[in-house]
């Protein structure tokens, strides 16, 4: 079904760069066809008055663990890359094909193919066949591929296939069973912990292998100053590496672990304050390319446990946009960059013609009130579980309306 | 070391429902529990060791991790106070995952226990249970986090050994703790308790068994045992689990003994007359030589066990005062946090 042509008027358009501009936006057959003067409404168009709100690309969430449409739609997310850590893992073409269809028509799922069979890190999965089945990129999942030989062969193979490899950067030999970053907080709480340098060790190896093979890697979460320095230097050398992060690591430090709050158990774990500040700086200077939710709704059976026994992860889809907007309010980045991090860059990594308000792009559009206040309430979330460390936190920024391929999502 | 003259009146002397850790206690609250234990030390030396203060109350010892001595100590403490004591020993493996821990807590709660004593292999587990039940909860050791009654009994043992009166703290005393600090809840509780009582605490362990940034807890860190012993008036040895000294953290038991075993020769490097403690169970001939462990004047090891019963009696008696409606100890209400608002 082709949607009626849509014109959004009275909005401030968030274009790929510059300040938001007041202009109309016209979509036809699910694509953006006109911006500005020639976008004026015509007879038979559906017209939406944005009332001076922002008109932005729908968010593209690079790395979620569950398809949770109500939460994604609440958060202005129109596409998500699904991590292969499913039960069973996305290591078979049929599963990838099924996952790729699972969100349509009002949400697009881009499955990330499991890099290795069963995500065990030992044998390569059928990556070319999974690409045919709809995988837009490859991922090592929550785990680090410990065997450098396997990683080398994986990266050279993916370089040939032209698939981005999304990696998890924690040296598993150093982290062991750790659930926290080594430091005063973990020491006082008696939690198994590992030094933050476990991340830099993994990042250094993966960058070296990417440089060697010419593969493109995206390190899904870079959360420490040392690892960010490595990424920064590699980018300067022209290595094809990008870095992502979730709001938890630029909003919170390991002080949140006091009282054993399992909603603050993440992988990688929360870091010290200096590393948190380094993440904010890296978002500001362009070292970090992607902000994603890591959406992973978990009920009490996974979270109401002693800290070390609880599962990591948070329900992050609804708070992704408002928490990123704190960086705009604080002057770390401008509005255009915020949506580049949330939509433009992840779409480019996935090879999706979306994430930017440009002619010809898919009409995935969010109308956003950037300062509308609301309070996060874990009891009343759209997500299938309310495991957020941001419960009761006042935030600003709310999605007023959302379109997927030019069709309004209610 | 001036004795404290008095404590806040009634329930304000101990304004908590639970005893989940030393970290939650003020200095005067620690001293209060030590002073309350003195009467039970006396009683325990009589032939009739029975006080019926807690008669009619039910105390459940829920041990999710294997224990012999701590469980026995709590059981004896409860029985000497006249309570009905039941022990629940669940192997950690069978209740490791899922809702079971919370479900168990709810079950114990529904049985209307008047106090629950908990040991669990995971840090923070006791607190998690405490949030779910309506009665006082005593931490008998949670993971690598805290073991508050051990720290209290150690402080009481030191106070007695030094001949200090009721109300005294341990101001200026130099204590060295040596062993597997990283995995030790005893070490963490003792650091908190001894520091609060005015001790200078030094720690000694190889780097792999020393927690990161532990200096932030106000202690000195050593890797060389001889240097750590210099000036020590009390030497507290910790047990090193056998599997950790077979290549994981330490190449072999004899290598560990070579570096960190407390022999009589080594003990001579501490302050003259230094006292020796060990929370047990000991690896004789590894972290501590028998001549040291059995040294009549220097070793406090059996006296620690004796103090343990008295301390646990004091904790059980104080924590059940609200349930027994003692004058000045009004109920905290159906709170879940255990603190006065």
| Cβ <8 Å between A259 and B146 | no
pLDDT of B94 strictly over 60 = no
pLDDT of residue A2: 73
Rounded CA gap, A271 and A193, in Å? 11
Q: Testing the interface with B: which of A184, A195, A306 to mutate, by most B Cβ within 10 A?
A: A306
Residue A38 lies in a domain: no
pLDDT of residue B54 exceeding 50: yes
What pLDDT was estimated at residue B338? Answer: 46
pLDDT at residue B106 tops 80: yes
Closest residue in B to A309 (Cα) is B97
Q: Inspect the interface and report whether the beta carbons of A186 and B211 lie closer than 8 Å.
A: yes
8 A C-beta contact, residue B131 and residue B109: no
Helix A197-213 and helix A148-161, axial crossing angle in degrees, nearest 10: 50
Per-window interface: B 229-258 vs A, CB < 8 A: none
Hey, is the C-beta of A192 within 8 angstroms of any chain B C-beta?
A: yes
d(CA A171, CA A169): 7
What residues of chain A lie within 8 A of the CB of B127, using their CB?
Answer: 259-260
The answer on pLDDT for B161 being more than 50 is yes
Which parts of B223-274 are beta strand (E)? 234-237
* B336, pLDDT greater than 60: no
Residue of A nearest to B126 (CA): A306
What pLDDT is recorded for position B101? Answer: 85
Q: Provide the shortest C-alpha distance from residue A376 to chain B (in Å).
A: 23
Within an 8 Å CB–CB cutoff, is residue B47 touching chain A? no
Q: Which domain holds residue A126?
A: 58-355+370-393
> What confidence tier does B337 reach under pLDDT thresholds 50, 70, 90?
very low
Q: Does A307 touch chain B (CB under 8 A)?
A: yes
Which residues 91-110 of B are in CB contact (within 8 Å) with A? 96-99, 101-102
Q: Considering the domain boundaries, does residue A67 fall inside one?
A: yes
Nearest by CB: B123 against A189, A195, A304: A189
Which residues in chain A touch residue B188, judged by CB atoms under 8 angstroms apart?
188, 190
Q: Which residue of B has its CA nearest to A185?
A: B213
Q: How far apart are CA A381 and CA A315, in angstroms?
A: 9
Cβ atoms of residues B75 and B63 within 8 Å: no
User: pLDDT by residue for chain A (410 residues), tens digit each?
Assistant: 678 899 999 999 999 999 999 999 999 999 999 999 889 899 999 999 999 999 999 999 999 999 999 999 999 999 999 999 999 999 999 999 999 999 999 999 999 999 999 999 999 999 999 999 999 999 999 999 999 999 999 999 999 999 999 999 999 999 999 999 999 999 999 999 999 999 999 999 999 999 999 999 999 999 999 999 999 999 999 999 999 999 999 999 999 999 999 999 999 999 999 999 999 999 999 999 999 999 999 998 899 999 999 999 999 999 999 999 999 999 999 999 999 999 999 999 999 999 999 999 999 999 999 999 999 999 999 999 999 999 999 999 999 999 999 999 98
Mean pLDDT of the B189-215 span: 97
Contact A305 B128 (CB under 8 A): yes
**A190:B97 CB<8 A:** no
Q: What's the confidence (pLDDT) of residue B66?
A: 86
CB pairs under 8 A between A and B: 78
A103 found inside a domain: yes
- Range A249-268 burial, b when 16+ CB lie within 10 A, else e: bbbbbbebbeebebbbbbbb
> Inter-chain contact B123–A308, Cβ cutoff 8 Å?
yes
Q: Which residue of A has its CA nearest to B184?
A: A190
CB contact under 8 A, B122 and A307: yes
Question: What's the count of helices (H) and strands (E) in chain B, helices before strands?
Answer: 11, 9
Give CA–CA dist B127/B121, Å, rounded.
13
pLDDT in tens, B219-275: 999 999 999 999 999 999 999 888 787 778 999 999 999 999 999 999 999 999 999
Q: Does B208 touch chain A (CB under 8 A)?
A: no
Chain centroid to CA A180: how far? 22
**CB nearest to A306's CB, from B23, B125, B213:** B125
What residues of A are in contact with residue B97 (Cβ under 8 Å)?
305, 309
Interface touch A306/B123, C-beta < 8 Å: yes
B214 and A CB contact within 8 Å: yes
B296 touches chain A (CB under 8 A): no
Residues 6+ apart with CB under 8 A from B33: B14, B152, B311, B314, B315, B318
Residue A41 lies in a domain: no
Question: Does a structural domain hold residue A8?
Answer: no
> How many distinct structural domains can be found in chain A?
1
Q: Is residue A146 part of a domain?
A: yes
Contact (CB<8Å) B99/A301: yes
Residue A108: give its domain's CATH number.
3.20.20.140
pLDDT greater than 70 at residue B99 = no
B341 has pLDDT over 50: no
Neighbours of A21 (CB within 10 A): 13
Is the pLDDT at B327 greater than 90? The verdict is yes
Determine, for residues B217 and A188 on separate chains, whether the beta-carbon distance falls below 8 Å.
yes
In a domain, A37, yes or no: no
Please indicate, yes or no, if residue A26 is contained in any of the structural domains: no
B65 or B334, which is more confident: B65
Quick one: pLDDT band at residue B334, thresholds 50, 70, 90?
Answer: very low
- Report the distance separating Cα A274 and Cα B187, nearest Å: 28
Measured in angstroms, the CA of B267 and the nearest CA of chain A are apart by 29
Which domains are present in chain B? 11-147+307-319 (3.40.50.1370), 148-303 (3.40.50.1370)
Query: Predicted ipTM?
Result: 0.90
The answer to whether the Cβ–Cβ distance between A309 and B213 falls below 8 Å is: no
β A241-245/A217-219 pair status: parallel
Q: Is A182 on the interface with B (CB under 8 A)?
A: yes
């Amino acid at each position: 079904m082709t949607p009626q042509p849509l014109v959004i008027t009275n909005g401030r358009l968030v274009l790929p760069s510059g300040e938001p501009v007041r202009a109309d936006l016209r979509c036809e057959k699910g694509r953006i066809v006109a911006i500005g003067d020639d976008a004026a409404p015509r007879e038979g168009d559906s017209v939406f008055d944005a009332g001076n709100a922002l008109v932005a690309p729908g968010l593209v969430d690079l790395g979620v663990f569950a398809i949770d449409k109500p939460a994604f739609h609440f958060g202005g997310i129109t596409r998500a890359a699904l991590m292969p850590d499913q039960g069973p893992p996305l290591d078979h073409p049929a599963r990838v094909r099924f996952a790729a269809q699972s969100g349509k028509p009002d949400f697009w799922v881009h499955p990330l193919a499991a890099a290795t069979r069963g995500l065990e890190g030992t044998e390569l999965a059928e990556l070319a066949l999974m690409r045919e089945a709809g995988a837009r990129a490859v991922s090592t999942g929550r785990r680090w591929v410990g065997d450098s030989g396997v990683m080398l062969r994986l990266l050279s193979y993916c370089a040939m296939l032209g698939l981005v490899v999304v990696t998890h950067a924690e040296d598993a030999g150093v982290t062991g069973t750790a659930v926290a970053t080594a430091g005063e907080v973990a020491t006082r709480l008696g939690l198994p912990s590992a030094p933050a340098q476990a991340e830099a060790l993994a990042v250094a190896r993966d960058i070296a292998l990417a440089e060697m093979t010419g593969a493109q890697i995206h390190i899904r979460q870079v959360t420490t100053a040392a690892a960010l320095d490595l990424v920064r230097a590699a980018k300067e050398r022209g290595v094809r590496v990008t870095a992502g992060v979730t709001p938890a690591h630029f909003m919170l430090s390991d002080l949140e672990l006091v009282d054993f709050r399992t909603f603050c158990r993440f992988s990688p774990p929360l870091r010290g304050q200096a590393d948190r500040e380094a993440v904010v700086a890296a978002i500001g200077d362009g070292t970090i390319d992607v902000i994603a939710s890591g959406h992973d709704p978990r009920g009490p059976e996974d979270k109401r446990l002693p800290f070390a026994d609880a599962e990591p992860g948070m329900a992050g889809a609804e708070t992704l946009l408002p928490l990123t907007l704190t960086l705009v309010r604080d002057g770390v980045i401008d509005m255009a960059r915020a949506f580049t991090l949330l939509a433009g860059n992840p779409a480019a990594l996935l090879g999706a013609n979306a994430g930017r308000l440009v002619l010809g792009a898919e009409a995935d559009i969010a109308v956003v009130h950037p300062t509308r206040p609301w309070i996060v309430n874990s009891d009343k979330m759209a997500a299938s579980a309310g495991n957020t460390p941001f419960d009761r936190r006042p935030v600003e920024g709310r999605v007023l309306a959302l379109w997927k391929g030019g069709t309004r999502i209610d | 070391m001036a004795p404290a003259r008095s404590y806040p009146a009634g329930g304000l002397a101990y304004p908590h429902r639970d005893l989940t850790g030393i970290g939650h206690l003020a200095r005067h609250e620690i001293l209060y529990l030590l002073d309350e234990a003195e009467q039970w030390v006396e009683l325990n030396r009589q032939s009739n060791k029975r006080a019926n203060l807690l008669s009619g109350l039910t105390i459940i010892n829920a041990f999710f991790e294997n224990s012999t001595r701590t469980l026995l100590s709590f059981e004896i403490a409860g029985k000497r106070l006249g309570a009905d004591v039941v022990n629940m020993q669940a192997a950690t493996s069978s209740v490791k995952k899922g809702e079971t821990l919370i479900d168990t807590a709810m079950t114990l709660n529904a049985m209307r226990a008047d106090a629950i004593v908990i040991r669990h292999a995971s840090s923070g587990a006791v607190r998690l249970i405490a949030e779910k039940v309506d009665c006082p909860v005593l931490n008998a050791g949670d993971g690598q986090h805290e073991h508050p009654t051990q720290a209290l009994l150690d402080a009481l043992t030191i106070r007695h050994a030094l001949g200090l009166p009721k109300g005294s703290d341990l101001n200026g005393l130099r204590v060295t703790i040596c062993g597997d600090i990283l995995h030790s809840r005893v070490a963490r509780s003792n650091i908190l308790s001894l520091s609060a009582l005015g001790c200078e605490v030094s720690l000694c362990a190889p780097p792999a068994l020393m927690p990161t940034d532990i200096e932030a807890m106000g202690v000195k860190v050593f890797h060389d045992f001889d240097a750590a012993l210099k000036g020590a008036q009390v030497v507290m040895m910790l047990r090193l689990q056998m599997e950790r000294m077979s290549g994981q953290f330490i190449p072999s038991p004899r290598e560990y003994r070579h570096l960190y075993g407390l022999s009589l020769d080594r003990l001579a490097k501490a302050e003259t007359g230094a006292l020796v403690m060990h929370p047990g169970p000991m690896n004789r001939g590894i972290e501590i030589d028998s001549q040291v462990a059995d040294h009549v004047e220097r070793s406090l090891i059996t006296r620690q066990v004796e103090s343990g019963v008295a301390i646990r009696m004091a904790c059980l008696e104080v924590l059940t005062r609200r349930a027994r409606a003692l004058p000045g100890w009004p109920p905290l209400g159906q709170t879940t946090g255990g603190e006065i608002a």
